[in-house]
Amino acid sequence: MILAFSDGWGLAAAAGAATAYAVLALATPRLGEGALRGLLLAAWGLHAVTLVEALLGTPPRFGFAPALSMTVWLVLTVYAVERRLFPQLQAHWALAGLGSAAVILAMIFPGTSYHVIASPWLPLHWALGIASYGLFAAAVVHGWLMVRAERSIRQAGQNHAGVPLLTLERLTFRFVEAGFVLLSATLLVGWLFAETLYGPGLGWKWDHKTIFSLLAWAAFAGLLIGRARMGWRGLKAVRVLYLGAALLLLSYAGSRFVLEVILRRA
């Protein structure tokens, strides 16, 4: 557990992002729309600085906590774009809380330093994987909002998500479909070009990361087939989505957590 930032500005940006997110999470009901937008933009920008500092630093660092931090940042990016299309969307406090926790976690566990990268294509492989993480995380957030909205409607209450239920359902599966495409591409590239990416003798391995990734892929494939063939929707579909997301979380982030924190191996 080391606070490893190559420059003071990296630590300052991380502290600023975590603080801005925390204020946003705690004070959302008391802030106006302009203040919410400005605070979210400031937190999002500072968060981006911390990610750039880690990935482009000397040496670059990556691990389970930076991966989770980048995933949350991508979800917040999606949310910021959606707020322009659906101004009534309400998820500030939950996402801001996740953002603050993710930044703090990455400060405590900055990941492994990569002094030598076997292939210049390896960062692209990482980017595909993290992008699929982000899309599935966005799907999970929308699925959670969808379940809340459905429960409120059944209880004749107010839809706190601020977006119609069918719109939330459609967005959820759009993110699942896009994430599935990227996850498939990530697995295919890893299978075909593993030694090119990671170096000689480091080809495709049937380790925990690979097995959980394939199980997640199977869960998401089953979800998409179930929706297309059997009309899965609502809570049943969201449960399968949660299962796939949990398996995917265990694949890279889970395996790296064991290596970095429990076994203390790079």
* Contact call for residues 89 and 82 (beta carbons, < 8 A): yes
Cα–Cα distance between 74 and 163 in angstroms, integer? Answer: 21
**DSSP SS3 for 62:** strand
200 — pLDDT class (breaks 50, 70, 90): low
**CA neighbours closer than 13 Å in the CB half-sphere of residue 21:** 28
Helix (H) or strand (E) holding 61: strand 61-62
What angle do the packed helices 64-85 and 92-108 form, to 10 degrees?
160
pLDDT band of residue 201 (cuts 50, 70, 90) is low
pLDDT digits (tens, 9 = 90+) for 56-106: 767 778 888 988 999 999 998 988 888 777 766 666 677 888 999 999 999
The model's pTM: 0.82
pLDDT band at 158 (very low <50, low <70, confident <90, very high): low
Structural contact between residues 56 and 48, judged by C-beta atoms closer than 8 angstroms: no
d(CA 82, CA 135): 13
- Sign, CA dihedral 208-140-104-46, equals positive
pLDDT, residue 1, reads 45
- Give me the mean pLDDT over the 154-172 stretch: 74
With contact defined as beta carbons under 8 Å apart, do 219 and 30 qualify? Answer: no
Q: Quickly list DSSP for 72-127.
A: HHHHHHHHHHHHHH-TT---HHHHHHHHHHHHHHHHH---EE-S--S-TTHHHHHH
Quick: pLDDT tens for 86-95. Answer: 766 666 677 8
